[in-house]
Chains A and B, each alone.
Chain A
Amino acid sequence: MITVEGLTKRYARHVAVKNISFEVGKGQIVGFLGKNGAGKTTTMRVLTCFLPPTSGKANVAGFDVVEQSLEVRKRIGYLPETPPLYPEMEVADYLVFVAKLKGIPSPEIRRRVDEVCDRTAIASVKNTIIGKLSKGYRQRVGIAQAIIHNPPVLILDEPTSGLDPEQQREARQLIASLSGDHTIILSTHILSEVEQSCSSVIIINNGEIVAVDSVENLHHRGRANEMVSIEVSGASPAAVRQRLEQVPGVARVISRDSREGVAAFEVEALENAFLRPHLARAVVEAGWDLNELKMVGESLEEIFLELTKSERKEGELAVAQ
């Protein structure tokens, strides 16, 4: 649905996006992850035809963003970082205005406005002046304007920024509910948001893509060897540790906070070793109770920091110099 090839965007002295390429398939929700100033907004602006790329190509729904800009714009719903709202207008009037701009035929406009108001739960404020709405409602009106023409592609720039936790949850649910019909790219720097609503992630740092993968794969990435978390009750922590260290394939055993009567450890495997069955057997054979045994993935946060670390150090060095 979206194809980006070798895209570069250069401002006067600063290269915002360097030669990035990625693809997003139909119906996917992709999280665009990066720190502030990493190039997320610039990439989105290129995809929405707001900015032309300096070099490279971007294709949305089969149309080139430079050559067939009007066709692309018909098929895209865009929520910029600040929702583009006219504070003096009433919500319904604003949505009618946007509907006309997006080329919805006049007889259908009322129906579409009612539909998106229901979908984004803003029907109760339809006749309220936008300037008087709370931030959460404004964000919803922003999403409503993006989906009013039922575009196949939705581009949402930090859709939950500035919302309180309750509103963030609602916004995420709303976005998740849109996933079936729309291909969605959403940018954020909130990692939990990506974990909750996206099927795959593009991590961008200093204008370069450092990872494109599914959320699940990312979790198992970064750590070459298996790491298992285990909780055992019915024995002293020292005894459990000793037994675990004897299991073949164990590289090391790391203590976690043990509660009374429960010994908790993280066990790291040697390369290519598959530990869990052996650990389970060892505990059961020793006559202890196995409370928990699960594989530990690296948190997205750690992966994100890991992937953006080297660049950061270089940056810090440059500043220090």
Chain B
Amino acid sequence: MRNILTICGKELRAYFASPIAYLLMAFFGLIFGFFFYSATAYFVNAGLRQSMMGSGGPMSVNDYVIAPMLGNASVVGLFLIPLISMRLFAEEKRTGTIELLMTSPVRDSEIILGKWLGAMVMYLCVLAVSACNIALLFAWGQPDWRPILTGYLGLILQGGCVLAIGAFISSTTKNQIIAGAATFAVCLLLWVLSWVSSYNDAGWAQAVAYCSILTHFEPFSKGIIDTRDIVFYVSAIFLGLFLTSRSLESLRWRA
């Protein structure tokens, strides 16, 4: 455990020692802020219109603002996370510091978990920026906190899953740009896989659509915790980290 935390701490320091952490947080803050503004403006507008016409029941800030915003955040995550994961192993391979890690009395699994955890904490810091916007909602309204919590749980699980895949891709190359671009391509693919089920309802199409990362996020944003989705994300995280460990081991016999 100590080794995992040591490596995790070093990763975090590396993120915050470079502009990348601040840039990611700033960009995410900007984009999420825009979503927040649009969703709230729409909500206020729709609310006004409804009260003027005197129709319909009460409008829920959870349905109109929070759910779509978290949905958007999950898509933005797919674009930002490759920027977090790309340096994980590629950088160490390029500079040769991987030799230090792999010749220290540390297990490969500890290296991988430490790095993944470091990237997760970085991702959480980025997500935390969005909490400022949510806090505003609590200051001027009474949103239900439970769907927000499940939404964030979904975002964290989805982030963990993409980071694990990104870690694997990063471990296969010395070039950060290649790692980032490939992870981004895989993320895009995992996003659009769900489209298959819209024009084909054969078994294989359902199976392919099931692999789409975003379909599993939707229930979370609505406040539903479905064990199937959790199992999906946890297995994807496990698969990504397992592939990373295989890839790291292959370094030993290929290097």
Contact = CB atoms under 8 A, between A and B. Distances in A.
B54 interface: no
A161 to B, nearest CB: 14
Interface string B199-212: 00000000000000
B105 A86 contact: no
A103 B105 contact: yes
B149 to A, nearest CB: 34
A73 B105 contact: yes
B255 A145 contact: no
Given A82-B96, A84-B99, A86-B10, A51 B104 contact: no
A89 B104 contact: no
A89 B13 contact: yes
B53 interface: no
Contact of B14 (A49, A80, A86): A86
B28 to A, nearest CB: 22
Contacts of B254: 11
Nearest to A49: B103
B100 A73 contact: no
A48 B102 CA distance: 9
Contact of B255 (A45, A81, A85, A100): A45
B6 A73 contact: no
B253 A51 contact: yes
A70 B104 CA distance: 8
Contacts of A102: 104-105
A100 B97 contact: no
A101 B107 contact: no
B14 A88 contact: yes
B30 interface: no
B55 interface: no
B228 interface: no
Contacts of B106: 73, 101
B18 interface: yes
Interface in B182-213: none
A45 B253 CA distance: 11
A78 interface: yes
Given A51-B252, A86-B10, A89-B17, A80 B105 contact: no
7 contacts: A51-B255, A78-B103, A80-B96, A84-B95, A97-B9, A101-B101, A101-B105
